[in-house]
A and B are shown apart, each in its own frame.
Chain A
């Protein structure tokens, strides 16, 4: 990506485009990735509520996976997941393993 020069920038570091955090892929920051264990998921959507990066994908009111382009691997989803009978539906797995 070509970086802008000083004359091309908005005054005082203002960001004039709303929602442009979407173009910043923070997924590369991750050392642990969340993985879904579908049989333990009760679709409570706690993970969707708590995810600070809006990286839990919900389709038809059901949990359907993660946006790994933006997920930073914080693990809040795993922590909040009630699972089924004590078995979590989200597990953090070290990247590269």
Chain B
């Protein structure tokens, strides 16, 4: 067993990075992720890691430097939030398309405007289609565990894709919770040595990265990329099994909480799942068949597995901490598409909550469960999509 600590989510991720000891990190500060690289740069200054820390003039440059460093043959990590991730956007596609396994700590924060520094998922969901693996974390422990596992998933020979590990800004990143660190040697052995595929620093075997690929070949590379990210599902499960052996903590593609025989279900990511679980317990104790599904792996999305797990539910509310304005929330769209793959058709509703760090209270979860109960009984839906927890 490792050491029990009282730490913040950011502290936990910085500690994971120290234990992973990457070859290169490129950093540019942005709230609320700043703290991760600030702590990590202290590790660099104190000689506790062998990392080359590259300070850059923007997040676009940070991701560009990461891409160059991993193509050169190094293990590379980085951290960002919100506008920082948005500024990286074009480079995110390049990291994925060039099949470069960078691990990025994403501390979820609302996108401007209006300017806001608090936690919501609009940054991560905005990067949904960039080809990165996305792991979401409920608390600091999960953020720490996911960071260590992400290295193995991203670098696996069947995958070779970048991965981002998401946690809620401030709610998790700056809140102290009790959690367990693994021993340095255990983490070192678990992540192993980075094995580059076509390192630019191998000067005896020169290669070209990033050539022009015209219509005669572009599709083939995209097929390969899609197969690779779909492989990440199995790899995530395999890595989780190994991780359980060293940590005693078990992870899947998603967490199913009291879903056995559940008729009404909440689907929710990250920290709000913790709040909602308490309410599920309360409803279960009243004899109401309520359950919760918390996706962990959002990209690739485990559609078939989610659909199989939720097939007997009568009514499902998908809670999104981001919106696709004029459409449904991104998590809702994923769940709705998943439920079409096996023909089961529970009634689905979409709630947009907690934007810009607005608190998600137990009563928000309770009101949604009450609405689901009514839908399950009457089959009638008042609103397919609505915002909750606002004035007016």
Contact = CB atoms under 8 A, between A and B. Distances in A.
A15 B198 CA distance: 9
B160 A12 contact: yes
Interface in B201-255: 205-211, 213, 216-217, 219-221, 223-224, 227
B123 to A, nearest CB: 25
Contact of A14 (B207, B217, B223): B207
Q: Please tell me the size bucket of the interface on B.
A: 20 to 34
A13 interface: yes
B224 to A, nearest CB: 5
B346 interface: no
B220 A10 contact: no
Nearest to B223: A6
B207 A13 contact: no
Contacts of B206: 18
A15 B207 contact: yes
Interface string A1-31: 0011111011111111010000000000000
Nearest to B97: A12
Contacts of B210: 13
Given A16-B198, A16-B207, A11 B99 contact: yes
A64 B205 CA distance: 33
A16 B220 CA distance: 17
A15 B220 contact: no
A4 B198 contact: no
B198 A5 contact: no
Contacts of B224: 6-7, 9, 11
Interface in B41-94: none
A14 B97 CA distance: 10
Nearest to B96: A12
B197 A4 contact: no
B220 A6 contact: yes
Given A12-B97, A12-B100, A13-B97, A5 B208 contact: no
Q: Please tell me the size bucket of the interface on A.
A: 10 to 19
Contact of B197 (A3, A5, A7, A11): A11
Contacts of A15: 207-208, 211
Contact of A13 (B160, B221, B227): B221
Interface in B94-117: 97-100
B198 A11 contact: yes
Most B C-beta atoms less than 10 A away, residue of A14, A15, A18: A14
Interface in A65-97: none
A16 B205 CA distance: 8
Given A12-B98, A16-B198, A18-B207, A3 B160 contact: no
B209 A14 contact: yes
Contacts of A3: 216-217
Contacts of A9: 217, 220-221, 224
Contacts of B220: 4-6, 9
Contacts of B223: 6
A12 B221 contact: yes
Contacts of B100: 12
A3 B220 CA distance: 10
A3 B227 CA distance: 20
Nearest to A9: B220
B139 to A, nearest CB: 34
B77 to A, nearest CB: 19
Given A6-B227, A14-B208, 15 more contacts: A6-B221, A9-B221, A10-B207, A12-B98, A12-B209, A12-B221, A13-B211, A13-B213, A13-B221, A14-B197, A14-B207, A15-B211, A18-B206, A18-B207, A18-B208
23 contacts: A4-B217, A6-B219, A6-B223, A6-B227, A7-B224, A9-B217, A9-B220, A10-B207, A12-B98, A12-B99, A12-B100, A12-B209, A13-B209, A13-B210, A13-B211, A14-B198, A14-B207, A14-B208, A15-B207, A15-B211, A16-B198, A18-B206, A18-B208
